[in-house]
Amino acid sequence: MSKPSGTDQVDDHPAFVDASSLKEPPTAKGARTRAALVTAARTVFERDGFLGSRITDISAEADCASGTFYTYFSGKEEVLAAVLEAAQDDMLHPGLPHVNGTDDPREVIAASNRAYLTAYLRNARLMEILYQVASIDPAFQELRRRRAAKFNERNSRHIAELQERGLADPTLDPLMAAKALSGMVSRVAMELMVYEDVDIDTTVDLVTTLWVNALKLKAPEEARPPSKRAGRGGRRRS
């Protein structure tokens, strides 16, 4: 099924498949310590930002000595990767948009957006941090890009499908539109929900309406411009 608007991902990062920090902890205690460090790192990053944080703070937060940090990670970048990886699990299942029984594209889009924004809210600060780091560290930039690509692909497919069914503006480039619209959603998520505390229902409504309008989405029954009415040329958006 195609999901329009970042259904199960946060931001443009659909899959935090990272390879860097997959050192499976050897011992049981080791695993616990490592986990504590990852949790602590997230806390500290969210509090102080990535660049503002110090390794000392992370180990302190994890209740261990600063030296211990280096048993599991080679530096801040690596914990960050681990933190993102951990967050991914949380973000992959944000109540998947089981738009049961509905075919109405608007409902599907709304559900997707809701799922996306819900997950976003839980991980907003982390996203902000990823953004920051990406603009500094090419590795994270790449990470961000690769994931955004997957994500946009999916939304793009959904748009294309709607176009094929005659439900969306056929003049739009599906991939470009997908990028622009999901960009809009993630921006709105940060600006309105995080900074301005707008409630999620309002936000879902807003972005869904704009998204639907932007695609000139028709109701399914209007689909496939019936040949006979072709003369009328009525391809009314929305």
Partner DNA sequence: TATGAATGAGGTTTCATTCAT
Partner DNA sequence: CATGAATGAAACCTCATTCAT
Q: Write out the residues near DNA by the rule CB under 7 A.
A: 25-27, 29-30, 32-33, 53-56, 63-72, 74-76
The yes or no reply on residue 101 touching a copy of itself (CB under 8 A) is no
Helix axes 138-164, 174-188, angle to 10 degrees: 120
Q: Which member of 173, 219, 223, 224 binds a copy of itself (CB under 8 A)?
A: 173
Tell me how far apart the alpha carbons of residues 200 and 121 are, in angstroms, rounded to a whole number.
9
Cβ 166 to DNA, closest distance in Å?
Answer: 57
Q: Are 12 and 116 in contact (CB under 8 A)?
A: no
Task: Give the nearer residue to DNA in terms of CB position, either 71 or 141.
Answer: 71
Q: Are 159 and 169 in contact (CB under 8 A)?
A: no
Binding partner at 229 among a copy of itself, DNA, none, C-beta below 5 to 8 Å by kind: none
The yes or no reply on residue 167 touching a copy of itself (CB under 8 A) is no
Binding partner at 132 among a copy of itself, DNA, none, C-beta below 5 to 8 Å by kind: a copy of itself
Q: What is the CA radius of gyration of the chain?
A: 21
State the residues that interact with a copy of itself by CB under 8 A. Answer: 49, 51-52, 128-129, 131-132, 135-136, 145, 148, 169-173, 176-177, 179-181, 183-184, 186-188, 191-192, 195, 198, 202, 206-207, 209-210, 213-216, 231-238
